[in-house]
Structure 1
Amino acid sequence: MGTCGETDQEHGDILPTDQEHGDILQTDQEYRDMWQTDQEHGDILQTDQEYRDMWQTDQEHGDILQTDQEYGDMWQTDLEHGDMWQTDQEHGDMWETYQEHGDMWETDQEHGDIFQTDQDHGDILPTDQEHGDILQTDQEHGDMWQTDQEHGDILQTDQEHGDI
């Protein structure tokens, strides 16, 4: 793994630079770790997650923040898969954008939608949902927002898969 801090490395490089694989922001991680935290795979925003890391780093896979990436890129950019933050994506898009699956935050989604929106599954705050409703409560699937969930949990919580 490469060094950290304003430099170009082959692996594990860190913002503000472009890295080849899983580079990260002011922290040392093993794979795609991001945002001042150590994660295993796809961690996100001051929390430990297992899959789909994000937020302020340039990477080839799951990269984020004002950059174009090949896979899972995020943050003010158009990506092919798992893109996020003010952009339209095909899969797992997030934050002020319309996505097909796992979309989140001020947007209408089909599955696991979150925050001020009506969803089919796992709807959240402040609305009634059919399955996996959220907001200051513990749920089994698709729960989100100030709660610990098993799948698709989001924001201020530890999740296992696809957390955001």
Structure 2
Amino acid sequence: MTVDGGNSRAIGINTSTTYNGLSATSHNVALSGIASTCAVSSNPRSVTVPAGGTANTTFSVTCTTPNSAPVVNAGPDDTAITGLLWSFNWSFSDANNNGPWSYRIDWGDGNTTTNSVSSQGTYSAGHTYIIVLPQSFTIRVTVTDAAGASASDTKVVQVLLL
């Protein structure tokens, strides 16, 4: 807290502080050092100190919970057969329930799938790998919430010949 832009003093929640030696006039009182997820009403505000007296003022601080990224689960590593549609289940949760969510699946072979969903939960996706020799691919599932926070998880798929 500062008075007239002077030195800052720490002040706790629902507490007060005293500034001695202020002249009997109007002073600007301001809260500073507030977290970026908080807002202060009427900051700074003017307080008039009467001759030989004291003045009180109250600030209202409102804070919001910062957005956190969804938690993504691509599932366990798996095996697929070349030329056949391979499907897997993946899931996500979002503590902020900040939907809708977009998702991207990078299949590891240069192909991707993108879409959006309106609820958290478990989803299924499928892809067909075409190979001439057995090969492993790392699949990355990325989910992005409506506020832009994103997270990913990966799994490895071993693609085999028939």
Q: Which has the higher strand share?
A: 2
Larger RCO, structures 1/2 (Cα 8 Å, 6+ apart): 2
Shorter chain as normaliser: what TM range? under 0.3
Query: Which of these two proteins has the greater Rg computed from alpha carbons?
Result: 2
